[in-house]
A and B are shown apart, each in its own frame.
Chain A
Amino acid sequence: MKKHHNNPDSCTACTVCIANCPVTAATRKFRGPKMVGPTLERMRLSQDDIEPSLEYCSNCKNCDMSCPSGVPISTLNMLARAKYFKNRKRSLRDWILSHGEKMAKLSAATPGMANFGMKMSRGILKKIGISDKAPLPAYASKSFSKLFKNLKQTSYPDKVVFYPGCFINYNDPQVGMDFVAVMQANKLEVIVEEGFVCCGSPLVVNGFLDEAEENAKQNVQILKKWTDKGYPIITCCTSCGLMLKQEYQELFHIEGVAEYAKHLYDADEFLLDLHDQGRLNTNFGTLNEKYMYHAPCHLRAQGMGLPGVELLALIPGLDVQDADAGCCGISGNYGFKDDKYDISMEIGSGLFKTIKESGRDTVVSECGTCRLQIGHGANVKTLHPLTLVRKSYEAYHK
């Protein structure tokens, strides 16, 4: 029962997805995953049926996760959204939010200017429908690919291919650099392929399915090339990972995804697998520190548990507590939208409260946009698990 059979008739209308949908809990404007997904999909199969509340689905995948019958509800919603926009004009707002990679490339020449410009233009962005309160990410002064090119790695016979994704590449390159350092500490050399493009997740959620498919085709070809040669592919972003291995299979018909997906790993899971094989460098230095942890929905959806929590448990002294308070609400660029910002903050309110009540000032999470939202909503610092792994390796040698 693999999850890429988009059959609405598998839905028995049991309503479990409604009880688990964070958007449904936050707003009555959304008619809920069951109705908007499988129920209306049966109508859409025969006619051009328009459901206005479809726009409220954030593609967080909690419906898919709760479904006892294996219906990929959120994917049905994304396909319906693409169909809806097939012959309709898109807003400038949705174009901008979907094309983070293009925007970043435009800004790459002068990220400082771009950040300054973005601050100045929040009023303008508000006019086109991007919330002036939302935690839009700043561009890093140097992209990951630039930093990586200037990095001297030790060469090892065992190599891994890194898929950085847009957020790490343009906004949070330090996570990528921490990843490389951790791989090097495990006697692995990192390959970064220039030809990778945005995984397509931000495009899919705004209905730019054709463009997402173009990106997918390019990524699939490269990913397949490397896994055919026997190299594992690793991501540090759980939404990229989910898109590359699962959503490509649910949304498109591209040959080769199932083959490379066997060798596509989340970084934390990859390190745990090394540990299982007795290959992990366990020279962990003690970190007497306390953190909260937030599990991104797109990690939970991947059926591998919480590898970050298990990995960090190997570090002596480290105290990591799982907040276990559900979706943070951001869902990629959902929470950036002016008309969704309040919903997004309402969804995350339980998590923010849990974090604040813990008294811990830093939250660990794999997903970049979850980290933005948590920093914004709970007023705390955030970091990726691998940053702590690197720190622990460095502490060992001190």
Chain B
Amino acid sequence: MREYDIVVIGGGLAGLMAAAAATKRGKKVTLLSLGSGTLTIGGGIVDVMGYLEGGIPAATPSAGLLQVGAGHPYKKIGRPAIEESIRFFKEICEQEGYSYIGNLDKTQWIPTAAGTLKPTCLVPRTMDTTELKKADKVTVLGFDALKDFYPSLIAKNFKKIPAFAQKEYEVVMIDPKLSEGRDVTALDVARWLDTEEGLASCIEKMRNVIDSGSVVIIPPILGTRPSYAVKEKLEKALGCHFVETASVPPSITGLRLRTMLVRYLKKNGVRIVEQAIVAKSIVEDGKCVAVITEGVDRERTYYAKSFILANGGFYGGGLLAEPGKVIEPIFNLPVEAPTDHELWANYSLFSSEAQPFAKLGLDVDEKMRPLDANGKVLLNNVFVAGRNLRGYDFSFEKSGNGVAIASGYQAAMSV
């Protein structure tokens, strides 16, 4: 039988980071993925802890970590491992030529396509706001026919933000001439800039509307690849600073990050099986021996010494909601949830409280092993990472990719 050291279930950020950390430790890893994860939906910026309970902004991600409740994944993982995981993530990015900036001691407030600011921890260099903060005059550049990015809306809303109200905004548009066929998204513009001709044409068009030395807010369009080549060429040619905003799906920054991490894993010998629908497991004496995928044709069995369960929450299929109960389908691990499922939701719109359903998930010990209601470890060689963990609402507190990185890393280090 082919046996691997570790089988990672799930190809989102938690699974990718777990696999990365495991290979770094010299383990032989198989990653079973279904779909391409949510990075391309959610984005490539790393939130660690943006908002505390009550919707109060955390002073810094670090300070936020100290204030989370006992059931939060960060409490289980602990500060040293979180720091190590962030360091490890940044190391990979650096090594792959697509470095991230930021650290736990500083919240980075980055512009969004809606003209608001959102708190985060690590961003790619295309979202560096250093020059934006210093500038007295800011250019907001849009593209004709590009949906989901309205420069005048951004300029108008920035005027309402105290730290940005004093700046002068200029709105300019260029026409990428991508009108043929379908609606234009940031992905189309980014692909246009991936090509040499597109980049040259874009530089010419931009030269007509922006002055050298400007700070320019743009949608996430600086190429689809995990590289700063497009950014550097544009900035050199025009003498400007570009700042990408956070935007709607498909997420270009998430696409770059995913491409980079998958490439890193393959380079390091991780076997990746796509379209792997993990349906069940073989457990003997409190240990998982194998997991089984259910294809359209037949079942396939994957043996390993340890397993990392990073297949997401309700959206990814790692947790299934049924009236009055939540099911973890592969190991049938217990998920504590109110039997009255009316209590799962917070019904008030734009509330300052988290969603109860978003906090439902698996309880784990400090090594990320699943626990029963009495705190007893249920499976010795199974480690949980990512959204299937209980105790946090990633969307509310802005902590999703941070928990994914920290828990994926911790799971791999606990093996």
- A residues with a Cβ closer than 8 A to B are 1-4, 12, 14-16, 18-20, 25, 27-32, 35, 53, 64-70, 245-246, 249, 261-264, 272, 275-276, 300-306, 310, 322, 324
- 28 residue pairs from A and B, CB less than 8 Å apart: A1-B277, A1-B294, A3-B277, A3-B296, A4-B296, A15-B249, A16-B250, A18-B187, A18-B250, A20-B36, A28-B180, A31-B183, A35-B182, A65-B36, A65-B275, A66-B40, A67-B35, A68-B41, A68-B316, A70-B35, A300-B275, A301-B274, A302-B297, A303-B275, A303-B300, A304-B273, A305-B30, A305-B276
Residues of B within 8 A of A67 (CB): 35
In the complex, whether B129 has a CB less than 8 A from a CB of chain A is no
A30 touches B182 (CB 8 A): yes
A261 touches B298 (CB 8 A): yes
Interface string of B245-289 (1 = CB under 8 A from A): 000011000010000000100100001111111010000000000
Bound-state Cα–Cα, A275 to B3, Å: 12
Residues of A within 8 A of B178 (CB): 28
B182 touches A304 (CB 8 A): no
B298 touches A276 (CB 8 A): no
A15 touches B41 (CB 8 A): yes
Q: How far is the CB of A10 from chain B (nearest CB, A)?
A: 11
Within 8 A of A (CB), among B35-88: 35-38, 40-41
In this complex, what residue of A is CB-closest to B188?
A: A28
Q: Known: A14-B41, A29-B180, A68-B35. Is A303-B274 also a contact (CB below 8 A)?
A: yes
In the complex, whether B315 has a CB less than 8 A from a CB of chain A is yes
Q: How far is the CB of A28 from chain B (nearest CB, A)?
A: 4
Interface string of B386-410 (1 = CB under 8 A from A): 0000000000000000000000000
In the complex, whether B181 has a CB less than 8 A from a CB of chain A is yes
Q: How far is the CB of A301 from chain B (nearest CB, A)?
A: 6
- B residues with a Cβ closer than 8 A to A are 1-2, 30, 34-38, 40-41, 178, 180-183, 185, 187-188, 191, 249-250, 255, 263, 266, 271-277, 279, 293-298, 300, 315-317
In this complex, what residue of B is CB-closest to A299?
A: B274
Residues of B within 8 A of A303 (CB): 273-277, 293, 295-296, 300
Residues of A within 8 A of B36 (CB): 16, 19-20, 65-66, 68
Bound-state Cα–Cα, A276 to B3, Å: 10
B297 touches A262 (CB 8 A): yes
In this complex, what residue of B is CB-closest to A266?
A: B297
Residues of A within 8 A of B294 (CB): 1-2
Bound-state Cα–Cα, A303 to B32, Å: 9
Q: Known: A16-B36, A303-B273. Is A249-B296 also a contact (CB below 8 A)?
A: yes
Q: How far is the CB of B69 from chain A (nearest CB, A)?
A: 29
B296 touches A2 (CB 8 A): yes
Q: How far is the CB of B315 from chain A (nearest CB, A)?
A: 7
Residues of B within 8 A of A29 (CB): 180-181
Q: Known: A1-B277, A304-B300, A324-B266. Is A16-B41 also a contact (CB below 8 A)?
A: yes
Residues of A within 8 A of B297 (CB): 245-246, 261-262, 264, 302
Bound-state Cα–Cα, A261 to B315, Å: 29
Bound-state Cα–Cα, A68 to B316, Å: 6
Residues of A within 8 A of B250 (CB): 15-16, 18-19
Bound-state Cα–Cα, A1 to B276, Å: 11
Bound-state Cα–Cα, A275 to B296, Å: 23
Q: How far is the CB of B3 from chain A (nearest CB, A)?
A: 10
A246 touches B296 (CB 8 A): yes
Bound-state Cα–Cα, A245 to B279, Å: 19
Bound-state Cα–Cα, A3 to B36, Å: 16
Bound-state Cα–Cα, A138 to B266, Å: 36
Contact of A261 among B34, B41, B188, B296 (CB under 8 A): B296
In this complex, what residue of B is CB-closest to A20?
A: B36
